[in-house]
Amino acid sequence: MGSEASPRLPFIDFSNVDQNNALDWDITKSRVHQALEEFGCFEASFPNISPELQTALFDSIQQLFDLPLETKLKNQSSKPFHGYYGFLPGQPLYESMGIDDAPILEKAESFAKIFWPEGNPEFSTTIQEYSEKVSKLDQMVRRMVLESLGLEKYLVEHLNSTNYLFRVMKYRKPEADESQHGLNAHTDKNIVTIVQQNQIDGLEVQLKSGDWIKIQPSSSKSFIVMIGDSFYAWTNGRLHSPNHRVVTASREKDRYSLAMFSVTKAGRMIKAPEEVVDEQHPLLFKPYDMGEFFQFYVTEAGLRAESALKTFCGV
Ligand SMILES: O=C(O)CCC(=O)C(=O)O
Ligand SMILES: [Fe+2]
């Protein structure tokens, strides 16, 4: 894209938003819906995370990535996107780890025990507390989307069908002769992703026009709320699932970021409700299992496809 000023993502403040305050709820809901239709993402301020918790969390993440590689490799999983990834071809700066069900304390504790066999209570409680709070933002956004599409009757089922995968990322600073490319362009495959980057920017999002914009949050406390392919499919294309990538903004400092992914539980299908399918909106995708879609995405055919979702289950 050219050097003209980048458009900014919509900024939505959730400070006073709760269901008992109907006016604020409705105004926010319509902004959320508009942003997710047009950009597939927005910047959110969500004051439930204290500065102390945020600092403790980023300190914990740094401590985790400072462990020797052979220790980090103990975080293995048969499920794509769940274990340790690092130093992949073409993405030498990027490392990440997945914490399944992070909002559940016992799960956060068993994750910590992989690396610290005696446990690390400070680490596990920080991870649990942060991810539980962020999960409330995920649930609020999904409630707003379903209400604005007139699909409230599916809300309980929709919320109960998911759990959370919390991924933590490090992008080391590039060597003098390396580029700042952090993570290849992709769409997320899950329902909703909530990203937080600490001080060092780097997330870039592709607009519907094809132009890329750099996400420059107005505060390091902000979150980026983003739609994944499975919410796009569930709403039968009503929401946009944006392509995005990471180009780390600093050559001097490592970049750390966090992402909470709502993912459907094993055996729950992604199936667009009949209310969003009509003559103007013919069904886009056959019902599918998200775990199977993840498995397909990491095959050669999945990685090569222009849209893995269309190739996997497009009508
Ligand atoms: O590191 C970031 O800011 C974004 C990471 C991301 O897009 C992902 O993990 O899917
Ligand atoms: Fe992503």
d(CA 60, CA 131): 13
Domain ranges of the chain: 11-313
Residue 18 in this model has a pLDDT that exceeds 90: no
Ligand 1: which of 164, 203, 225, 256 to mutate, judged by most atoms within 8 Å of the beta carbon? 203
pLDDT band at 89 (very low <50, low <70, confident <90, very high): confident
Q: What is the pLDDT of residues 177-211, one digit of tens each?
A: 999 999 999 999 999 999 999 889 999 999 999 99
Question: Where do we find the tokens 């505060």?
Answer: 219
Q: Residue 6's pLDDT is what? A: 67
Residue that wins the pLDDT comparison between 3 and 97:
97
d(CA 223, CA 291): 26
Q: Give me ligand 2 centre to Cα 134, in Å.
A: 16
User: Which residues lie across from 91 on neighbouring strands?
Assistant: 88
Q: What is the pLDDT of residues 104-154, one digit of tens each?
A: 999 999 999 999 999 999 999 999 999 999 999 999 999 999 999 999 999
- Ligand 1 pocket residue status of 197, Cβ below 6 Å: yes
- Ligand 1 pocket residue status of 229, Cβ below 6 Å: no
Per-residue pLDDT, averaged over 3-11, amounts to: 74
Q: Give me ligand 2 centre to Cα 250, in Å.
A: 19
Per cent of the chain over pLDDT 70 is: 98
Exposure of 54 in the CB half-sphere (CA atoms within 13 A): 18
pLDDT band at 5 (very low <50, low <70, confident <90, very high): low
- Ligand 1 pocket residue status of 248, Cβ below 6 Å: no
Alpha helix (H) residue ranges in the chain: 22-38, 51-65, 69-72, 105-115, 121-148, 155-160, 229-234, 290-297, 300-304, 308-313
Q: Residue 140's pLDDT is what? A: 96
Q: Residue 2's pLDDT is what? A: 45
- Ligand 1 pocket residue status of 169, Cβ below 6 Å: yes
Q: Is the dihedral of CA 123, 129, 132, 133 positive or negative?
A: negative
Amino acid at 128: Q
Distances (CA, A) of 65 to 73, 140, 255: 11, 31, 12
Question: What's the mean pLDDT when you consider all of the chain?
Answer: 93
**What's CA 90's distance to the chain center, in Å?**
22
CATH of range 11-313; options 3.30.200.20, 2.60.120.380, 2.60.120.330, 2.30.40.10: 2.60.120.330
Q: Give me ligand 2 centre to Cα 186, in Å.
A: 6
CA-nearest of 130, 115, 109, 103 to 75 is 115
Q: What's the token pair of residue 281?
A: 């909106």
**What's CA 9's distance to the chain center, in Å?**
16
